[in-house]
Each structure stands twice: as C-alpha cells, then as structure tokens.
Chain A
Amino acid sequence: NAGVTQTPKFQVLKTGQSMTLQCAQDMNHNSMYWYRQDPGMGLRLIYYSASEGTTDKGEVPNGYNVSRLNKREFSLRLESAAPSQTSVYFCASSELRDSNQPQHFGDGTRLSIL
C-alpha cells in the first residue's frame, strides 16, 4: 500500500537554485494538493489540482509552480529558491466524485535553502 509517495525525502539547495518536488499517488484519486509546514505551524495550502489538467492557487502560491502531469502525478517546482522557502512540503490526494472524502498525505519532503 504505497498511497502517496514523495521524492526526495530530504534536499538542501543554495539560494537561486531550482528544484522540482515529485508526488505520485496510486489510489486513483482525482484531486491532489501541495502544502508547506513551517516549524510550530499548521499546514498551508500552496496549490491544488481538482482533476487532471486543472490547477489552482491556494493560500501561499508565490514562488511556486505546479504541473499535473497525469492523474497519478503532481509536481511542485521552485524556480529560484529562497531561504524563506525552507520548510517541510507535503503532498496529498483525495477523491473528486465525493468531494467530502478525506485527503491522504505523503510523508513529506524536508527542504533547506541556504
């Protein structure tokens, strides 16, 4: 039962470098999400994709881009990393047909930007 798989688990970048965080789910879910979690805080939504081919901004989209590659995969890209983007990033997925179904989360990518 893989569920939601995120890669890499850890990454250190220098300011200005670019990086793509990968997320894949094997539950045939339609909706996928990217969150960030800063120390001592709850999760904040960066972007989400209600279904394949669609994306929309969340609470904190600045500095990020996303791609819904296919139904399984939803990637998050930092074009020019900044120290303020040091955080733990979580990907999640959920059903669309019944939009009250819960989200299932991956174990996160811990990203440090120097």
Chain B
Amino acid sequence: DAKTTQPTSMDCAEGRAANLPCNHSTISGNEYVYWYRQIHSQGPQYIIHGLKNNETNEMASLIITEDRKSSTLILPHATLRDTAVYYCIVATRGTLYGGATNKLIFGTGTLLAVQP
C-alpha cells in the first residue's frame, strides 16, 4: 500500500495562500491522490483528487509533480474557517465480487492553523 508523508503542522496568515506538501514516493501508476480535511469534531470533508494532471475546483488546487512522487494542495486565500487537519491519501483499490472501491488509508495529516 502506498503511504504518504506530511508535515505535522503549518501556519498560514489569513488571506494568504496555504501550500500543503505531501510525499508519496511509492505511489503506483493507477493510484489517485486525494485530499480531505477534518474540522474539529466533524467528519472528513473531500477537497480534491487527481491522477497526474494538476486539478482545480472551487475549494483548492492540486499540483502533482511529473514523477508523481509528491503533491501540493493550495488553498488560494486561506480563511479562519480553513483551520483543520488536512489529509493527503493515496487510495488503495479494493475488489470484491467483481466490484471495485477505494480503500482510503488515512495518516495523521497536517494541522493547518490560519492566523488572523
């Protein structure tokens, strides 16, 4: 199973871009990179995912290096409500009776603290 490495914690000033790094050097060719976040006492919230191309949605941008061994999640204008633990996950595909599903293996994530 591919594993990820993230810094334990990061700070960011409100209104500035938050850049959260993730290393996944053992990622397989068909495995996607997912980012989730968890605000205190809530369930994880999906942010974005990608395979090898950079991706952008209304929440964030995902930059994946050409060798796919690392990625960066970018929150373009961080707010206080973005304070959360951010998880970088490489999905492990599972199969059962011909069906396919993703088994997400969560690490301990990065605690992003947005400062006023």
Contacts and interface: CB of A to CB of B under 8 A. Distances in A.
B80 to A, nearest CB: 21
A43 B103 CA distance: 11
Contact of A50 (B46, B101, B105): B101
A50 B96 contact: yes
Given A42-B109, A99-B93, A100-B32, A105 B100 contact: no
A58 B44 CA distance: 18
Contact of B103 (A48, A105, A106, A108): A48
Contacts of A31: 99, 101-102
Interface residues of B, number: 29
Contact of A56 (B43, B46, B96): B96
Contacts of A77: none
B108 A42 contact: yes
A51 B100 CA distance: 9
Contacts of A41: 108
B46 A102 contact: yes
Contacts of B34: 102
A94 B49 CA distance: 14
Interface string B13-35: 00000000000000000001010
Given A42-B109, A100-B91, A50 B99 contact: yes
A45 B103 contact: yes
A54 B99 CA distance: 9
Contacts of A45: 103-105
A41 B85 CA distance: 11
Nearest to A50: B99
A24 to B, nearest CB: 14
Given A35-B106, A107-B42, A108-B43, 8 more contacts: A31-B102, A41-B108, A42-B109, A54-B96, A99-B101, A100-B32, A103-B102, A108-B42
3 closest A-B pairs (Cβ-Cβ)? A42-B106, A105-B43, A50-B99
